[in-house]
Structure 1
Amino acid sequence: MGRINAVFKADGAETADRYSISEWWLEPRTTGPGAHTHPEDDVFYVLDGTMSFFLGDHWVDAPKGSFVVAPGGTPHDFQNRTDERAGALNISVPGAFEPRMPGIVEWFLENPPGDPADA
């Protein structure tokens, strides 16, 4: 997805749709999908670098080792506002998130991630 890479580690078929686990990597100074909501809970664990997360009405900078929760229905977003690559493990509960990935990839092709300073 341009400056964003996602890899599924456990999908709905492996978890009986109870959860999905994916790894997301953002190149330096890369915006995410924009604020959005969905019914699933999103849990993020920052693997490397510092990710910025929008949760409800504010941004939180989360360095490596941080744990961030966006309960279902909460407006949320993520970005890498730093000059270093950053990554997070995402757990989506319940699962079956991955069937939406083709549409997400298509959206990013039409709306390439940019620099957060330009957003």
Structure 2
Amino acid sequence: MTDEDSPGDEPTGASNGADRPVSDGGVSAGLDDDELYEVVHDAVEDAILGVVGTLLLLGIGFVSLVSGVTAVVDATSTASFGIGLAVLAAGLVIFVTTLRGVLPVSRWI
């Protein structure tokens, strides 16, 4: 009897375990538990660091925006107005650039 004639649930050539069916109907990735843990751990760590970095950039941008607006409104000279405007512009760039990476405008519509 050959592999083609053998009865059973396993597909032909699935003896290496790479193509064995799994409970969700897909195919096993061929990773053992340690490798799978490492991949999932790295993915979760990257996601958490991405969220923290995004929140920090939004915070820095917001503080720069508020500081710039305050400096522009309370400006008593042209130099202080220019510095306030520069801080306002930098905060706006940081804030909008960070949001553009998180929430693209095309998805808002």
Per the TM superposition, whether the score is higher than 0.5 is no
Please give the range of the TM-score, normalised by the shorter of the 2 chains.
under 0.3
More relative contact order, 1 or 2 (CA 8 Å, 6+ apart) = 1
TM-score, normalisation: structure 2:
0.21
Higher strand share: 1
